[in-house]
Structure 1
Amino acid sequence: MTEQADFSIETLVVPTNENVPNHPRLPFLIYRKVWGDKPDPHLVLTNFASCGWGGGWVNGIFPFHHYHAESHEVLANTGPTINVQFGGPEGEIVAFGTGDIVLIPAGGGHCLMAGSRASGIVGAYPAGQEDWDLKRNEPQDHELALRQIPEVALPTTDPVTGNQFPLFNYWK
């Protein structure tokens, strides 16, 4: 695990809406200032891998509403603050700052609203969920996704600490 700053956690609950299912019971978890003001994306990626989260990448967030019905996802921001809408078109727009991470439960909609797509986002997925799907807010995907999402297994470890906490304080 790389050295981390003290961080706080915010929860965001977004109900199912017209075309983005979101998760029926798991909130988005926003960990604020996990890696301070100048995180190295490759060290963050290595940290996620050492905590059991694989399929990692460094890139950006798509500028269209989308979700993953077959996997949870962690995103870390190693670049400047960007605005991301979580939960689909009716969701909340959040300032996603440098050093922040967000745990997105399966079905959780997300979309870059303002900022550079090439902003230094690091992403990863829990063990066994690295072969993720990509769904847009399309009506034809909604019903199947509503059945798939509750079946997605909980991660076995927190992507930051490598143990069960603080993740299992919120996701049960």
Structure 2
Amino acid sequence: MSANERSFFLKDDGRIPNNQELPVIIYEGIFSDNPNDIVATFNRHNWTGSWSGGIYDYHHYHSNTHEALGVRSGQATILLGGDSGERLEVKAGDVVLLPAGTGHQLVEASEEFEVIGAYPNGMTPNIVQQDPAKRAQALQEIQNVPVPETDPVYGDNGPLLRKWVK
């Protein structure tokens, strides 16, 4: 397994908090040889609670957990961080690691687009939309989400442990 890895921070846009402490991490092409290995790899590294399908076509985030999205098939454009955030092109074999609070939305996708989602220790994610009334609570929850013990792709070694553990 090898991939081009990159990461970036997203700013709080006043509506989507994003995560000011942890960057989004992208593993480009990590499963390009066998996208069907995504679920087993996530599970082996204790990123469980897996589901498969698409990504919601509206801005949302999870204030109570981090999320790994592995692209099993197809390609898509997703918007991270809110209306003025980062557009990200993803394709089969890519993994996107979203720290708690990171807004994400599907912009467009090929017909066969499918992702596998998973969470550290099988957490059950909440779904928070752009609601000013819930913002203070969401910010508090995001700060209390612990850094996972393992990287969803590499386990005890990997970008998460280099970039998220201080």
Partner of 1:159: 152
Q: 2:49 & 2:111 partners in 1: Cα distance? A: 19
1:143 is paired with a residue of what secondary structure? helix
Alpha-carbon distance change, 117 to 11 in structure 1, aligned in 2, over 3 angstroms: farther
Structure 2 residue corresponding to 1:147, chosen from 140, 147, 153: 140
Q: 2:112 & 2:162 partners in 1: Cα distance? A: 32
**1:162 shift after superposition:** 1.5
Contact 2:74/2:111 (<8 A) preserved: no
* CA RMSD of superposed structures (Å): 1.5
Q: 2:161 & 2:84 partners in 1: Cα distance? A: 27
% identical aligned pairs: 33
TM-score for both structures, normalised by structure 2: 0.93
Partner of 2:161: 168
Partner of 1:94: 88
Q: Which runs of 5+ in 1 are unaligned?
A: none
Q: Greater CA deviation, 98-107 or 133-142?
A: 133-142
Q: 2:154 & 2:39 partners in 1: Cα distance? A: 13
Q: Greater CA deviation, 158-167 or 52-61?
A: 158-167
Mapping 1:1-172, distance limit 5 Å? 4=1, 6-36=2-32, 39-40=35-36, 43-116=37-110, 119-127=113-121, 130-172=123-165
Alpha-carbon distance change, 118 to 63 in structure 1, aligned in 2, over 3 angstroms: farther
Q: Deviations over 1:52-83 (max 9, x none)?
A: 11110111111100000000000011112200
Aligned residues: 165
Alpha-carbon distance change, 66 to 37 in structure 1, aligned in 2, over 3 angstroms: same
TM-score for both structures, normalised by structure 1: 0.90
Q: Which runs of 5+ in 2 are unaligned?
A: none
2:150 partner letter: T
Detail structure 1 runs of 4+ shifted over 6 Å in the superposition.
Answer: none
Q: 1:126 & 1:109 partners in 2: Cα distance? A: 18
Contact 1:65/1:109 (<8 A) preserved: yes
Q: Deviations over 1:23-58 (max 9, x none)?
A: 121010011000115512xx3112101111111011
